[in-house]
């Protein structure tokens, strides 16, 4: 059985080449061909020895995910849906800005965390993605956009400057294959992204936050969404296992190796649920109490407008209420941003759905009909972090 070279970081690829008696620099050459040049045909890797190319042909492949669909927003956002087999698909979204281009990458087909405000959580969990399936989303978008820019006469330089693991799934529940994917993104022989420009978003898997701090400390975003355990238990079920105090301490530990001097907290604004002045006051007290001598500057709050979907039973906070909430935090010295959504017209905005919640992972069909071919797809929230 052939191995997928997209599953390997540079260290893993070096070990593979050494098994064939090749020197480490050959792995670096191969790594560059794949990621920097976007080569998929071993024959075109002209500076590799013929014996190595023969080994690659016999034992290796580059597995491309079929593109189910591509949608483009009037604001420039592009959403791709990739088939990952067995009736499952994942979304990848590119969000262009004046000063950067952000790619939102999925880590799982579905999600097992089950946050109340998240459409993916309502659609169930199917499986973890492989390293290669995560890396392919960046590989595809990077070289697709480069070719598109070149065709239009624009510079073919890289247009993806930031990657956020904020797509479908909980990245830290797929940690062992996430880690080599992050290393590929950061490698100067691949995409050369800085640790500040790669963000892992988590609902609060405390032990894995500590492991990430040791293994590959990139920027960290935490889905907080509530200022107290009682409320967060209902919105983010994982809180029952890792309550807020434990989560805050993990975030504070993360600050020492982190590439930034703050942790980002994501806070989805839900009308009458978590958006009242008392909630803002509790947030301020939480940040001050946990941060102790650090004051309020050790974190940043991103307030996310919620796009309702029928299964949630929740509504978006009015704009005026979001502004008041933000101002209360700002007046207390908490760095706060109201995050904008992108791609509303192609169902690529934060939690936005067209019509009813569809069964992205096929969980309902498997449960009720066991007919895989009837799967329908619906969008996952895409969060645009204004700090990147």
Please identify every residue annotated as catalytic: 91, 350
Write the DSSP string, 43-106: GG-TTS-HHHHHHHHHHEE--PPPEEEEEE-TTS-EEEEEEEETTEEEEEEEEE-SS-EEEE--
Contacts of 209 (CB under 8 A, 6+ apart): 172, 202, 220, 250, 251, 253, 254
SS3 label, residue 376: coil
- What residue spans of the chain are helical by DSSP H? 10-19, 24-35, 50-59, 119-122, 131-151, 175-186, 206-215, 229-235, 244-254, 277-291, 319-331, 363-364
What's the DSSP call for residue 386? Answer: T
Both tokens assigned to 109: 């087909």
Contact present, 186 and 217 (Cβ < 8 Å): no
Question: How wide is the angle at C-alpha 358 spanned by C-alphas 352 and 359, nearest 5°?
Answer: 130
Please provide residue 350's backbone torsions phi and psi, each rounded to the nearest 5 degrees.
Answer: -65, 105
Contacts of 167 (CB under 8 A, 6+ apart): 90, 91, 92, 93, 104, 105, 106, 107, 137, 380, 382
Residues 88, 376: Cα–Cα separation, whole Å: 10
SS3 label, residue 198: strand
Residues 74, 267: Cα–Cα separation, whole Å: 27
What's the DSSP call for residue 257? Answer: T
Residues 283, 228: Cα–Cα separation, whole Å: 8
Residues 111, 208: Cα–Cα separation, whole Å: 17
């Amino acid at each position: 059985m052939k191995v997928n070279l997209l599953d390997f970081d540079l260290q893993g690829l070096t070990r593979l080449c050494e098994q064939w008696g090749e020197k480490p620099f050959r792995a670096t050459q191969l790594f560059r061909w794949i990621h920097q040049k976007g080569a998929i045909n071993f024959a075109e890797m002209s500076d590799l020895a013929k014996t190595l190319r023969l080994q690659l042909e016999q034992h290796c492949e580059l597995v491309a995910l079929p593109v189910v669909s591509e949608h483009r927003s009037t604001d420039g956002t592009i959403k791709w849906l990739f088939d990952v087999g067995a009736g499952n698909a994942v979304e990848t979204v590119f969000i262009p800005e004046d000063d950067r281009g952000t790619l939102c990458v999925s880590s799982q087909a579905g999600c097992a965390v089950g946050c109340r405000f998240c459409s993916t959580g309502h659609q169930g969990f199917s499986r973890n993605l492989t390293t290669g399936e995560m890396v392919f989303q960046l590989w595809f978008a990077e070289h697709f956009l480069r070719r598109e820019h070149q065709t239009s006469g624009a510079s073919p330089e890289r247009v993806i400057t930031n990657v956020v693991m904020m797509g479908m799934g909980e990245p830290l529940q797929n940690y062992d294959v996430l880690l080599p994917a992050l290393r590929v993104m950061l490698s100067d022989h691949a995409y050369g992204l800085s640790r500040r420009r790669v963000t892992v978003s988590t609902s609060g898997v405390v032990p894995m936050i500590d492991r990430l701090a040791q293994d590959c400390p990139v920027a960290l975003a935490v889905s907080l969404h509530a200022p107290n355990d009682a409320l967060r238990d209902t919105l983010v079920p994982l809180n029952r296992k890792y309550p807020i105090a434990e989560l805050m301490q993990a975030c504070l530990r993360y600050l020492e190796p982190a590439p930034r001097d703050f942790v980002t907290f994501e806070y989805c604004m839900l009308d009458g649920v978590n958006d009242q002045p008392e909630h803002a006051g509790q947030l301020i007290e939480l940040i001050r109490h946990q941060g102790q001598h650090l004051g309020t500057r050790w974190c940043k709050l991103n307030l996310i407008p919620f796009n309702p979907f029928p299964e949630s039973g929740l509504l978006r906070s009015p704009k005026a209420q979001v502004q008041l909430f933000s101002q209360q935090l700002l007046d207390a010295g908490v760095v706060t941003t109201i995050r904008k959504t992108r791609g509303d017209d192609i169902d690529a905005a934060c939690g936005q759905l067209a019509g009813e919640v569809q069964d992205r992972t096929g969980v309902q069909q498997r449960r009720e009909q066991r007919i895989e071919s009837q799967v329908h797809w619906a969008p996952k929230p895409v969060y645009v972090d204004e700090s990147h």
